[in-house]
Structure formats: structure tokens, C-alpha cells
Amino acid sequence: MQALQLETLHVAPVLREITLPAPARGELRLRIAACALNFADLLMIDGRYQEKPALPFTLGMEMAGTVIALGEDVTGFRIGDRVAAFAGQGGLATEANVAASRCLPLPAALDFETAAAFQIAYGTSHLSLDHRAHLQPGETLFVTGAAGGVGLTAVEIGKRMGARVIASARGAEKLEVARQAGADHVIDSDAPGLREALRELGGVDVVYDSVGEPAFSEALRATRPEGRILTIGFAGGEVPQIPANLLLVKNLTVMGLYWGGYLTFRPDVLTASLRTLADWIADGSLKPHISHRFPLSHASEALSCLRERRSTGKIVVTMAA
């Protein structure tokens, strides 16, 4: 089987022929049809992700495919089942062994590419907005990086939950993508005066920030009393230093969300969220946006597309039949 493996940190991964062992107890083997890329894949290459698998390892955190073998003690799945899986690694390959506990049966209406693409991005946004921030209908949500793979899902889910959504992104093309996803107002992230622009729109109740500074500080100061600020990531490269005095005087809450962490301490919350999202996608309430598709043989090009921020929405790598 083929797999895109990282052999040395800070060096481009390479496509190799490898052999997988039989599925271990509690695992199933997938014939992978599609794998979606994430910013975390780039952090893994650079050795900057919070989880550091032993080298060499196969990149690709979220995938979808067909069950072709079952390990001991696997229940609830059969050979031939279509599933989505969050494995943390192993998805940029033609096959993978995945813990059955990290697999989700797919509704018939959900294709493999969409199934691979929705898990982390939509899961992060839904868990953040619903479980953590308790976003309510009628509240105002501000989303930074709103045309990216995660930010775009926050726009879409925020609208699905009944919020008024303000989206920030760079350039007219990306702003239009956010508008098409449901944003009520859009702001160019390159334009000065973000704080003033948000205040002119009445302020915000929930901030969904995947960028970091300087947008974080500007949004913080435009947040209404009892507002909630979600820190999702720092794609802009600068981690905010949060002024506690502002939290005190405005009764604000800043909270983090590491989606993968719920697999360890609250897997039930994560699984329930994914089931909700799969149903919303299957019934047409959500429409995951895939802007780029690459075959596995061009996976390095796909990673370059991600690093250079040429995508709007998700990048998906597909495997040969």
C-alpha cells in the first residue's frame, strides 16, 4: 500500500510503499477513499503540534472509506460498511488501521469526500459554539479567518444555530465565500479599524478566533458584557496575551477548544456532536465547501496549497480506486 510519510521533521514528506500489520484488538482496517488536510498537518511536519507521533509516520488526520477487515472485539461494524474516521494520523494512504471507537457510520446520503472533510472543521465549530460558548439564537457571532477550513464552518453553523454572523477574511473573493456561507456582514481583515467596525455593527456576543493577533485584541474590545471569546488557533502566528482587567470589568469569558482532546476525557460529547453534524449535512442544512481536490500522488502539492493559504474551505486528497 502507498502512504505519505514524514521521516524527518522540517523535511517534506515522501510517498512510500509500506506494509500494515493486521488490525489490532479494537481496530478495523479501512480502504481509504478520501482524506482531508488540516493546518495541524503542517504543524506536525514542523514539529510544532501538541501531539508528536514517533517518526516515521503517515500524515492525514481525518479520512473516510470502507471497512475491509476487523480486529478482535470490534462490534457495531461489518466488512463493507462506509465510515468516517478521525485517527490523528494515517489518512494520507490507501489503507489504515483505525480504532473502531474513532469511526462513525455514514448516512447513505454522505459521500466519502464530504465525510472526510467535515469532521475536524465542523466538529471544532459545533463543539465550540454549542457545548462551550452556548451560542443562542439572536446573538451576534464574530468569526475571524472566516473563509478558511475551520472559520467557514463557524459561519455556517452559527447561522444554523440562529445567530447573526459577522465574518472577517482577506480580500473580496474570500469575503464572498463567507457571505455565500451565510455571513450577514463581512469585514476585510486587511482594512484598519476592526474594533470600530464591530462596534458600529452593535458589538458581538461570541468571538470565534482561529487567527490570533491583532484581530483577537480588537474583537475582545468590541465584545459586549458577558460575551464569550473562543480561542481556536493562531494561524496568524501571534498568540494573544489576554488582559485580565478587561475580562473583569466586562464580565467576559475566554475559553479554549482543542477538539481532539475530547476523545480522551469526553468522547461521548464529541461523538454526539459528530452525529448531529452528519445528520445536518445529510439533510442539506450544512454544505461543506471543498475548494481543492488532489490525488494521493500529488499530496505534497496539496500540502503546499494549504501552507500558502490558497484554499477556501477544505482541501481533500483522494485515493486511486
Which of these, 81, 102, 93, lies nearest to 33 by C-alpha position?
93
Is position 189 within any domain?
yes
How many residues does this entry show for the chain? 321
- Indicate whether this model's pTM tops 0.75: yes
The CA R_g of the chain, rounded to the nearest whole Å, is 20
What gap in Å lies between CA 199 and CA 185, rounded to an integer?
Answer: 13
Omega before 23 cis (within 30°)? no
> Could you tell me if 208 and 141 are in contact, meaning their C-beta atoms sit under 8 angstroms apart?
yes
In terms of domains, do 213 and 250 share one?
Answer: yes
Position 148 scores a pLDDT of: 82
Q: Is residue 235 part of a domain?
A: yes
The confidence score (pLDDT) of residue 156 equals: 95
Same domain, 301 and 205: no
Is the same domain home to 74 and 130? no
CA distance 208 to 218: 13
- Do 222 and 200 share a structural domain? yes
- If asked whether residues 130 and 89 sit together in one domain, one would say no
β-pairing verdict for 103-105 and 140-143: unpaired
Residue 275 covered by a domain: no
- Do the Cβ atoms of 136 and 306 come closer than 8 Å? no
**Cell output for 66:** 470502507
Count CA atoms closer than 13 A to 257's CA, side-chain side: 26
Running DSSP on this structure, what letter comes out for residue 18? -
Give the whole-angstrom CA distance, residue 273 versus residue 130: 9
The pLDDT value recorded for residue 321 is 52
Q: How would DSSP label each residue in 171-228?
A: SHHHHHHHHHTT-SEEEETTSS-HHHHHHHTT-EEEEEESS-TTHHHHHHTTEEEEEE
Residue 282 lies in a domain: no
Q: What is the rounded CA–CA span in Å between residue 311 and residue 159?
A: 22
- 50 falls within a domain: yes
CATH label of the domain that carries residue 64: 3.90.180.10
pLDDT tens, N- to C-terminus, the chain (321 residues) = 999 999 999 999 999 999 999 999 999 999 999 999 998 899 999 998 888 999 999 999 999 999 999 999 999 999 999 999 998 899 999 999 999 988 999 988 899 999 999 999 899 999 999 999 999 999 999 999 998 878 999 999 999 999 999 999 999 999 999 999 999 999 999 999 999 999 999 999 999 999 999 999 999 999 999 999 999 988 877 899 999 999 999 999 999 999 988 888 888 899 889 989 999 998 888 988 898 999 999 999 999 999 998 887 789 999 975
Residues 210 and 132 in one domain: yes
204 in the same domain as 246? yes
Range of the domain at 200: 120-260
What pLDDT sits at residue 187? 97
CATH number of residue 244's parent domain:
3.40.50.720
Q: 188: how many CB neighbours lie within 10 A of its CB?
A: 15
Residues 223 and 299 in one domain: no
- Return phi, psi of residue 276, to 5°: -60, -45
Are 158 and 235 in the same domain? yes
**Rounded to an integer, what distance in angstroms lies between the CA atom of residue 307 and that of residue 297?**
18
Side-chain half-sphere CA neighbours of 9 within 13 A: 9
Q: Using the 3D structure, point to which of 239, 260, 281 is the last residue of a domain.
A: 260
Based on the domain organization, do 172 and 253 belong to the same domain? yes
Q: Are 281 and 287 in contact, with CB atoms under 8 Å apart?
A: yes
What amino acid occupies position 307? R
Residue 151 domain-assigned?
Answer: yes
Q: Is residue 115 part of a domain?
A: no
State which of 245, 260, 275 marks the end of a domain: 260
Does residue 111 belong to any structural domain of this protein?
Answer: no
Residues 255 and 194 in one domain: yes
Q: How many domains does the chain have?
A: 2
Q: Which of 92, 53, 79 is nearest to 260 (CA)?
A: 53
- Amino acid, res. 154: A
Distance CA 274, CA 286 (A): 13
Chain position carrying cell 460575551: 227
H or E stretch at 302: helix 299-307
Mark whether 246 and 144 lie in a shared domain.
yes
